[in-house]
């Protein structure tokens, strides 16, 4: 009996694929996500990022502001079954102002799909995210997107991957033409070409047909030049003897490369089918008690994200927990490492963007949505018996600061609640001036777009209008030392002393010069970039 349970669990683990889609803004992550859902039969018709009237929006950009602006702001988790596998797909925002959210999401995945725009190649934000994957040891798949538009030559794109990222690109398929001539892809494993047809508004799967080179030439469907070009490219590739090797991919020495168009659906099915076979199953996680393997008996996991008000029907906050080991069963008791308290996981959800469904069981690699009344924070570990701690998720250093004012004083309670929830999400850090006469919240963010998000969300989700006054602050430091000295920092030069949500002191300076003056005057004070406790 015991043995059978273990066998089932191992099969469940082996079948899971938990991955993030990453890239520079606008390369097509959300569009590709939507099409993977279409091919995974998780949706009937695919929506658009910039949906016009009467058109469907994408599933993963569910937030009002995402739909208005056509950009992703927050990561989304989508779980769906595909060919005996369970896929946990995490669509991330590309804009660097939201990169803290993307980085947290990367802590919860076993592989990443890097989307490149075929006309642009590797863009700056892609490069940065690639470095994060490297540091974390996350293997990378490459999807070269937008082949339906004029593209750079495939060989040139491969060269760029090799030179800029220092990984050997291994093409799994190869495009036939680009722009309006992009009609299909050559599948190297099957040694033949799939031709695709477009569907109305690209909402449905593309009909496709398989041909050998010879059969395709006979049909006269394609201009001979394109076929010759692909044939000579393939001969060149085969001649180079570059073979896919899973271990080399896991070591990040290789990246499998796919060409396609998320917009027109060309190449999406081929990518998904290949991906589930080549991508790694859930991997072990580092903890303070050593490596935790997915096959370990005891349940464990960590919170990598918190999101409030995902669903208008349930205006609550949900903690996203990546399961690292054991099996989750509904109603189980777990230890919350940070507080030592026991929590009963009574009603966790399976997540599908902003939709949710109560889940009875879950396995390593899955993401549980846990209703959160404030006890769970980002980076917290939950475990069944042993008290252990997974590696912390570092916070980014804030670089922009602004005073936030409530425009309708009758809404003070909602205002404070909203701010508290957005802070818990890590959408913003909220500081309060210790000078009682200036007790307005100061928002501290990594990127300026976060200000817009906080204001729009306070308005949309809490019905609280606000105004913002930017502060000319260049430097923030967490301060430790004698309290009487800390309180003197704001005696001159418009320096500000604040408390953060954990009642830690933060000093804000107009410029470096002012901080140095304070350092000279009060040598007992220690200044840190982040709250280190
Ligand atoms: N022509 C063409 N356009 C595409 C393709 N994929 C995406 N797009 C368009 O590119 C724009 C950006 O697409 P998104 O899917 O939102 O890109 P993203 O990478 O999710 O962007 P962020 O999440 O904001 O970083 C949209 O207008 C899409 O319709 C493609 O294969 N071909
Ligand atoms: Mg997106």
pLDDT in tens, 379-391: 999 999 999 999 9
pLDDT of residue 269: 97
Q: What distance in angstroms lies between residue 202's CA and the mean position of ligand 2's atoms?
A: 18
pLDDT in tens, 496-507: 999 999 999 999
Instruction: Choose among 352, 266, 351, 320: nearest CA to 42.
Output: 352
Ligand 1, atom 2, lies closest to the CA of: 146
* Residues whose CB falls within 8 Å of the CB of residue 93, separated by 6 or more in sequence, listed in order: 25, 71, 72, 73, 74, 75, 99, 101, 102
**How far is residue 28 from each of residues 23, 196, 375, measured CA to CA in Å?**
8, 19, 36
Determine the average pLDDT of the residues in 70-78. Answer: 96
Q: Which position has the higher pLDDT, 493 or 186?
A: 186
pLDDT digits (tens, 9 = 90+) for 217-228: 998 888 888 889
**Ligand 1 centroid distance, CA of 32 (Å):** 8
Atom of ligand 1 nearest to the CA of 260: 31
> Ligand 2 center to residue 447 CA distance, Å?
17
CA-CA-CA-CA dihedral for 443, 447, 450, 451, to nearest 10:
50
pLDDT at 72 over 70: yes
pLDDT of residue 98: 95
Q: What average pLDDT does the segment 149-172 reach?
A: 96
Token digits of residue 87: 């896929």
Q: Calculate mean pLDDT across residues 474-482.
A: 95
Of all ligands present, the nearest one to the C-alpha of 150 is 1
**From the CA of 27, how far away is ligand 1's center (Å)?**
5
**pLDDT above 90: residue 530:** no
* Mutation probe of ligand 1 site: the residue of 25, 30, 196 with most atoms within 8 A of C-beta: 30
The answer to whether 97 touches 127, Cβ cutoff 8 Å, is no
Return the closest-CA partner of residue 269 out of 206, 188, 334.
206
Q: Does the pLDDT value for residue 493 go beyond 90? A: no
**% of the chain with per-residue pLDDT over 90:** 87
pLDDT of residue 54: 79
- Phi, psi torsion values for 449, nearest 5 degrees: -60, -20
Judged against a pLDDT cut of 60, whether residue 267 lies above it is answered with yes
Whether 336 shows a pLDDT value over 70: the answer reads yes
Instruction: Tell whether the model's pLDDT for residue 3 goes beyond 80.
Output: no
Q: For residue 5, what pLDDT band results from cuts at 50, 70 and 90?
A: confident
Task: Note the pLDDT of residue 313.
Answer: 80
What's the pTM value of the predicted model, to 2 decimals? 0.95
Pocket test for ligand 1, best of 23, 27, 29, 31 (most atoms within 8 A of CB): 31
Say yes or no to pLDDT of 4 above 80. no
Q: What backbone torsions phi and psi does residue 258 show, to the nearest 5 degrees?
A: -125, 145
Which domains are present in the chain? 19-72+101-278 (3.40.50.300), 285-383 (3.40.50.300), 400-528 (3.30.70.3280)
Strand 361-362 with 285-287, pairing:
unpaired
pLDDT computed for residue 221 by the predictor:
83
What is the whole-number distance in angstroms between the Cα of residue 45 and the centre of ligand 2?
Answer: 18
Query: Which of 205-214, 234-243, 452-461 is predicted with the least confidence, judged by mean pLDDT?
Result: 234-243
pLDDT of 532 = 64
- What atom in ligand 1 is closest to the CA of residue 25? 25
Ligand 1 centroid to Cα of residue 72, in Å, is 10
DSSP 384-423: SSS---BPP-PPPPP-EEEEEEESSGGGHHHHHHHHHHHH
Rounded to the nearest integer, the mean pLDDT of the chain is 94
Ligand lying nearest the CA atom of residue 118: 1
For residue 49, the CA-to-ligand 1 centroid distance in Å is 7
pLDDT at 7 over 90: no
Ligand 1-lining residues (CB < 6 angstroms):
23, 25-31, 49-50, 71-72, 93-95, 145-146, 148-149, 261-263
């Amino acid at each position: 009996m015991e043995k059978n349970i273990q066998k089932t669990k191992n099969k469940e683990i082996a079948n899971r694929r938990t991955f993030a889609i990453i890239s520079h803004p606008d390369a097509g992550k959300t569009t590709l996500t939507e099409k993977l859902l279409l091919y995974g039969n998780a949706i009937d018709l695919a929506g658009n990022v910039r949906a016009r009237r009467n058109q469907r929006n994408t599933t993963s950009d569910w937030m009002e502001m995402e739909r208005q602006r056509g950009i992703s702001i927050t990561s989304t988790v989508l779980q769906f079954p595909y060919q005996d596998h369970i896929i946990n797909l995490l669509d991330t925002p590309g804009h660097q102002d939201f990169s803290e959210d993307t980085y947290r999401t990367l802590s919860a995945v076993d592989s990443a799909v890097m989307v490149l725009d075929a006309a642009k190649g590797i863009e700056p934000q892609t490069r940065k995210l690639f470095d994060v994957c490297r540091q974390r040891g996350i293997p990378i798949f490459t999807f070269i997107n937008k082949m339906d538009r004029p593209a750079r030559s495939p060989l040139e794109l491969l060269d760029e991957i090799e030179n800029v990222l220092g990984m050997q690109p291994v093409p799994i398929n190869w495009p036939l033409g680009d722009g309006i001539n992009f009609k299909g892809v050559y599948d190297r494993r099957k040694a033949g070409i799939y031709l695709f047809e477009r569907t109305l508004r690209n909402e449905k799967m593309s009909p496709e047909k398989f041909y050998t080179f010879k059969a395709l030439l006979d049909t006269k469907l394609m201009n001979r030049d394109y076929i010759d070009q692909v044939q000579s490219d393939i001969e060149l590739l085969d001649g180079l003897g570059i073979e896919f090797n899973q271990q080399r991919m896991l070591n990040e020495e290789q990246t499998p490369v796919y060409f396609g168009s998320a917009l027109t659906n060309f190449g999406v099915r081929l990518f998904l089918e290949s991906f589930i076979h080549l991508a790694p199953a859930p991997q072990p996680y580092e903890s303070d008690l050593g490596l935790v393997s997915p096959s370990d008996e005891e349940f464990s996991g960590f919170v990598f994200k918190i999101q409030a008000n995902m669903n208008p029907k349930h205006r609550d906050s949900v903690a996203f927990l990546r399961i690292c080991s054991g099996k989750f069963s509904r109603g189980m008791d777990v230890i919350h490492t940070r507080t030592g308290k026991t929590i009963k996981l009574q009603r966790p959800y399976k997540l599908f963007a902003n939709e949710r469904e109560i889940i009875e069981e879950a396995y390593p690699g899955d993401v549980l949505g846990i209703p959160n009344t404030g006890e769970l924070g980002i980076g917290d570990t939950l475990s069944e018996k042993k008290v252990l701690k997974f590696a912390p998720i570092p916070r980014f250093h804030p670089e922009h600061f602004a005073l936030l004012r409530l425009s309708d004083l009758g809404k003070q309670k909602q205002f404070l609640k909203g701010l508290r929830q957005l802070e818990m999400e890590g959408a913003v850090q909220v500081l309060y001036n210790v000078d009682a006469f200036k007790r307005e919240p100061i928002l501290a963010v990594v990127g300026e777009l976060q200000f817009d998000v906080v204001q729009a969300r306070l308005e949309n989700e809490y019905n609280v209008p606000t105004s913002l006054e930017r502060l000319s602050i260049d430097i923030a430091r967490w301060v430790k030392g004698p309290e009487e000295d800390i309180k003197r920092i704001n005696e001159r030069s418009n320096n500000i002393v604040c408390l953060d949500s954990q009642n830690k002191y933060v000093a804000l300076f107009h410029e470096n010069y002012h901080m140095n003056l304070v350092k000279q005057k009060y040598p007992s004070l220690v200044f840190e970039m982040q709250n280190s406790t």
